Amino acid sequence: MTAEELQSGYVFLLDKPLDWTSFQAVNKMKYKLKREFNLPKKFKIGHAGTLDPRATGLLIVCCGKFTKKIPEIQDAPKEYWTEIKIGVQTESYDTEKPEILHQDIAHTTEEQIRETLEKFVGEIEQKPPVYSAIKVDGQRAYNLARAGEEVEMKSRKTTIFYIKDISVNLPLVSFTVGCSKGTYIRSLAHDIGQELGVGAYLTQLRRTKIGDYTIENATTDFLENEYRFEGL
d(CA 142, CA 145): 5
CA atoms of 72 and 8, how far apart (whole Å): 18
Bridge partners, 80 (sequence order): 177, 207
Instruction: Region of 93 please: left (phi>0), alpha (psi -120 to 50) or beta.
Output: left
d(CA 56, CA 51): 7
Q: Peptide bond before 171: cis, by omega within 30 degrees of 0?
A: yes
- C-alpha distances in Å from residue 153, one per residue of 107, 111, 128, 178, 232: 32, 32, 6, 23, 37
Q: Is the dihedral of CA 15, 17, 19, 20 positive or negative?
A: negative
**Cα separation, 171 vs 97, whole angstroms:** 18
State how far the Cα of 89 lies from the Cα of 32, in Å rounded to an integer: 40
52 part of the active site: yes
Length of the chain (residues): 232
Marked catalytic residue, from 15, 52, 94, 191: 52
User: Where does residue 191 rank: exposed (0-12), middle (13-18), buried (19+ CB within 10 A)?
Assistant: buried
- The catalytic site residues sit at 52
